[in-house]
Amino acid sequence: MGYRSALLAFSAAVLASTASVAADLPARTYTKAPVYAPAPIFNWTGIYVGAHIGAAFGGDNGYATTLPGLTGSNREAAFLGGGQLGADYQFAPNWLVGIEGQISGLSGSDRTFSNGIDSFRDRSDWLASITGRLGYTWGPGLIYAKGGVAFRDDNGLAATAGFLPAVASRESTGYTVGGGLEYMFAPAWSAKVEYQYYNFDTTNVAFTTVGPVAQALSYKDDLHTVKVGVNYRFNWGGPVVAKY
């Protein structure tokens, strides 16, 4: 009996000391697993509408004429502004194809010819295009090339009385090529910078001077443009989503 009593007393003392030590230990803290921000997936598929501003500059300033003393100047630089409407489809997974219609009004893009007395003026008041485009995307960025059909107004040729009557072969349809960079700075918004070249082939003018003497004039008609713009995208493929 003495042995059992001693063993029970020893066990009780051990339990008591263990409970006392446990009571003195600080409370266990629990650390949550780190939460990682999801990486966004940028979706370029959809219809978009936007606006742009920029400048237009004359291209080839060469010309040929049968009239002695006739001199010409290249097209003046002009301010431009307008809008665009397009649709893109992203595939595989970083490539993009699309189509875009664009129109720009010009503040004045004149090319003039004069013999010191009388003059011709060739003016374009607006430019437009329908282009396809092919691009490569990396997240919010897009680099693209474009090309298609170009249009302009068909009433830009004027002459003073000494060069009348005048007959002109002036193309109102041509071709355009270009490219640019676009950046998606919000789920539905992107900004772009773009270069676009317009070519309307050769303009030929037949006129009669005082005499009368038949004369001719011909020149290449092209423009270089630089634009910055913004697009709002109506994604049919869904908004920007998070990748976990």
How many structural domains is the chain composed of? Answer: 1
Inside any domain, residue 39? no
Indicate if the pLDDT at residue 27 is higher than 60. Answer: no
Q: Domain holding 188: CATH number?
A: 2.40.160.20
Residue 219: exposed, middle, or buried by beta-carbon count in 10 A (0-12, 13-18, 19+)?
buried
Residue ranges making up the domain that contains 183: 44-234
Inside any domain, residue 142? yes
In contact, 98 and 87? CB cutoff 8 Å? yes
Average pLDDT, the chain: 84
Inside any domain, residue 5? no
State how far the Cα of 133 lies from the Cα of 86, in Å rounded to an integer.
10
Q: How confident is the model at residue 241 (pLDDT cuts 50, 70, 90)?
A: very low
Inside any domain, residue 105? yes
Q: How confident is the model at residue 152 (pLDDT cuts 50, 70, 90)?
A: very high
State how far the Cα of 49 lies from the Cα of 189, in Å rounded to an integer.
10
Inside any domain, residue 72? yes
Three-state SS at 132: strand
Inside any domain, residue 70? yes
State how far the Cα of 149 lies from the Cα of 186, in Å rounded to an integer.
31
Inside any domain, residue 113? yes
Inside any domain, residue 12? no
The whole model's pTM is what?
0.80
pLDDT tens column, 100-147? 999 999 998 888 999 888 888 898 899 999 999 999 999 899 999 999
- When computed from its CA atoms, the radius of gyration of the chain, rounded to whole angstroms, is 37
State how far the Cα of 167 lies from the Cα of 70, in Å rounded to an integer.
17
Running DSSP on this structure, what letter comes out for residue 75? P
